[in-house]
Structure 1
Amino acid sequence: MMIHLDLDCFFVSCERLKNPALRGIPVAVGGRGDPFIFATTSRSNLDVTLENSGAFVPTLFYDAQTDFREYFVEGEKIRGIVITSSYEARSRGIKTGMTIREALGRCPSLVVKPPNHLFYHECSHALKTWLQTQIPVLEQYSVDEFFGDLKGWVEEPEVPAFLHRLREEILDRFGLPVSIGAAPSKWIAKLATSAAKPGRGDGVKVLFDNEVDNFVDPLPIDAFPGIGRGFSKRLKAYRIETLGELKAARHLLYRWKKPGIQLYHRVNGDDNEPVVPGYDRRSIGISRTIDPLFDRGEARRRLIILCRHLAHLVGRIGAHPQTIFLGIRYQFGQKAKKHLTERFLFSELALRQRVLALFERIDTFKNLAIVRLSVACSHFATRPVTEGSLLAYEAENRAKRLWLQTARVRQKYGIDTIRSAVEML
């Protein structure tokens, strides 16, 4: 049987570990996407971690280490959005994605904490390490979600008791409340977790094979993980409102090729997708949403900063990328993106030169403000490779040696320890 573990209000739960006075009251953890990575002053509390893995696990974090006013208040404005909230806050109308200003308007007693992502990932990694001793096959799906496969480990009749014991031990050992769903297939197990959540269940929901259809079919399509706004809109255009109706529309889903076929079999519970304990990283990237920015000189400065952080990440995993990607999103929804693939010795300088060259090529909406920048590396070679003249190789090699030396300093003292002069202007 497959299981899915979802830590309840994880960031808030972590904050309550540090400050038990936050228990039982409305609490939210907020966040801000922009100014900290691009600050002209050095930040010692900006760092990366590669301890946790998963499709939805980022690598670059800012630990606030400050109070509400310093983090969220800018002039007369309260900036930022709610990342997660406690159930006490949710009962008062607080939702993820809501602005901090609106959340405080709805619930004046709400305690809003700046994020401490490195601490959250330390908690997640400690839990993952322990779970690997309890579950034979474990997959980290996000910082607060895990899949597990109990086949051959726990007999089906014993699964409910096993999961209740597991849940109680996680709470005792780590102080983290968790909800667990179980089902014959991976994505139905994730769907079952929603019925185990506080206010809906007792923390564990087990669906045996003969119970799956009765549980799944009446649910609205929006309840299923992986059905986003686009798919939901398309399905509702065909008057498909429930998962049972979706299961009866096999011919329609198959017309939508791979995404539709995959969704159909996940909802049907016969996708046979395994729990994957690890995977080879195929790409690594960094993106930031920013306040609307018209100044292209400032955009280039921010790209240089993103390149520094991305190069640090690439160095941490020992990769040799040959493909560089740049994406730009503008204020009214326009987008520009391009990648280049070539054989070169990777370094921070090599990455920066190629990203800035791509920026000059694809920034065609110069009269529009930029609201998001994305840089990524992929197509990893098994060893350093390059091509071209001997002089080019020597220049690339010098840049790589310098980058490796600075990486050692940054690894010990922080990413902002060594920066380019242009970053501080």
Structure 2
Amino acid sequence: MDKSQSRRIILHVDMNSFYASVEMAFDPNLRNKPLAVAGNVEERKGIIITCSYEARAKGVKTTMPLWQAKKLCPDLIVKKPNFDRYRKASTAMFDILREFTDLVEPVSIDEGYMDITGIINHNPLEIPITIQKRLLDELLLPCSIGVAPNKFLAKMASNMKKPLGITILRKRELQDTLWPLPVANMHGIGEKTAEKLSSIGIKTIYDLAHSDIVQLKGLLGINGERLKQRANGIDNREVNPDSIYDFKSIGNSTTLPKDTTNQLVIYEVLKKLSHSVFVRMKRKDVLASKIFISIRYGNLKTITRSKKLANPTQSEDEIYRQAKQLFDTHWDEEPIRLLGVTAQDLVEKKEAMKQLDIFSYEDDAKQEPLLSVIDKIKHKYGDKVIQKGIKGKLEGDQSPGTSFNKDFLRE
């Protein structure tokens, strides 16, 4: 790490049990009680989205089936998710962070990075302590904060003490603090990657930091080199406030009320999911170059399939047609528990270049007079005066638009 990187002071602010904490802030009677926020509360397939630390002490965990959680904790209080409430709390949280610096990068509804390099006087803990206290006093929301010279180490640090922890992690402390940990505990490494690394004898973060780069790239490609750098505390990424505008997919999934092989029911679910994706694409004024579906069976086996489109699309009918075709091709006729539809490889509509082929040329030619008129109007009055089939965005609306996994600020 060069000197300019080592001098940086990066915070990772991670809200503790965010949805549950927001519910407790909204209703003080829920405080200090075992609380869970779960989807499909009335259905047998309800899943724990998040839970309070009182519930965790009883063995309740995120993604655990609701019936199992209630078995472990009979007095568990279960709430349906209220995403409007969570988005408002998230917006208030980030507003407080931006009072300290403009260099705030949201990465999800309940966490974000801050670069406070230029505003530290002497004590690097002064600002994190103030932030943590303000979030707790003003919003009644607890958080943990990691303090480090880069984003990766800040993220790892914020996980080291929860709830209400503040942890400093310096590069010189890797040997004692980070390297002894199992490689699966490292940010950026999922279960499958950990299994692959284990197959070549990499069990700990130390093993990864000292692994053979040729062997690692052969196993994981360019990501292998990136992970080794992270394990050695190297991460030159900047805190980028504009990253929330970058998104490459919009998707939606749903768990069915009961496992089914009924094609009419399945097609109706795919149609609703396609409509949801279409609405969000239209709002963000983007087109999809690839359609992706996920199918989870009753035995929890999950498959994903995708198709690259000849031309980017924003058509609801086309999204559904492609999703249905993918489903028909790959469904093995076993009972289905969950379905998902995602539009991928998104491009902004105004920058999308349609590649005309023999099948689309005739339809495009029919629209030529209308498109010609629209182009002339735009040329005279500007791009935003008219957009065919798209509701224009308000000029005064400067709130950040976000991606499939970052759409917490606007829905």
Range of TM-score over shorter length: 0.7 to 0.9
1:8 aligns with 2:16: yes
1:73 aligns with 2:45: no
Pairwise CA distance, 1:181: 0.6
- Which residues of 2 match residues 84-103 of structure 1 at below 5 A? 84-103=50-69
Partner of 1:152: 118
Residue-pair matches, total: 357
Partner of 2:408: none
Q: TM-score under structure 1 normalisation?
A: 0.75
Whole-Å separation in 2 of the counterparts to 1:227 and 1:336: 20
Whether contact under 8 Å (1:345, 1:385) holds in the other structure is: no
Residue 180 of structure 1 aligns to a residue in which SS? strand
Deviation string, structure 1 residues 309-354 (Cα, Å, up to 9, x no partner) = 1111011111233443444455563736231423376333343344
Aligned residue identity for 1:338: S
Aligned residue identity for 1:306: L
1:215 aligns with 2:182: no
Whole-Å separation in 1 of the counterparts to 2:216 and 2:353: 44
Alpha-carbon spacing, 1:28–1:326, altered in 2? closer, same or farther (3 Å): closer
Pairwise CA distance, 1:128: 1.4
Runs of 4+ residues deviating >6 angstroms:
none
Whether contact under 8 Å (1:348, 1:403) holds in the other structure is: no
1:20 aligns with 2:28: yes
Whole-Å separation in 2 of the counterparts to 1:260 and 1:297: 44
Whole-Å separation in 2 of the counterparts to 1:177 and 1:29: 17
Residue 59 of structure 2 aligns to a residue in which SS? coil
1:189 aligns with 2:157: no
Residue 343 of structure 1 aligns to a residue in which SS? strand
1:315 aligns with 2:277: no
Residue 242 of structure 2 aligns to a residue in which SS? coil
Pairwise CA distance, 1:130: 2.7
Whether contact under 8 Å (2:292, 2:305) holds in the other structure is: yes
1:341 aligns with 2:309: yes
Whether contact under 8 Å (1:322, 1:381) holds in the other structure is: no
Residue 12 of structure 1 aligns to a residue in which SS? helix
Identity of aligned residues (%): 29
Residue 310 of structure 1 aligns to a residue in which SS? helix
Pairwise CA distance, 1:237: 3.6
1:164 aligns with 2:132: no
Q: TM-score under structure 2 normalisation?
A: 0.77
1:263 aligns with 2:227: yes
Pairwise CA distance, 1:227: 1.9
Alpha-carbon spacing, 1:154–1:213, altered in 2? closer, same or farther (3 Å): farther
Whole-Å separation in 2 of the counterparts to 1:176 and 1:203: 13
Whole-Å separation in 1 of the counterparts to 2:58 and 2:107: 29
More moved, 387-396 vs 143-152: 387-396
Pairwise CA distance, 1:82: 1.4
Partner of 1:369: 335
Aligned residue identity for 2:161: A
Within the candidate set 265, 278, 285, 1:298 is matched to 265
Alpha-carbon spacing, 1:107–1:232, altered in 2? closer, same or farther (3 Å): same
Whether contact under 8 Å (1:181, 1:196) holds in the other structure is: no
Q: Quick one: higher RCO (CA 8 Å, sep 6+), 1 or 2?
A: 1
Deviation string, structure 1 residues 187-207 (Cα, Å, up to 9, x no partner) = 111111122313xxx621112
Alpha-carbon spacing, 1:390–1:140, altered in 2? closer, same or farther (3 Å): same
Partner of 1:114: 80
Whole-Å separation in 2 of the counterparts to 1:246 and 1:119: 41
Alpha-carbon spacing, 1:344–1:260, altered in 2? closer, same or farther (3 Å): closer
Partner of 1:253: 216
Residue 117 of structure 2 aligns to a residue in which SS? coil
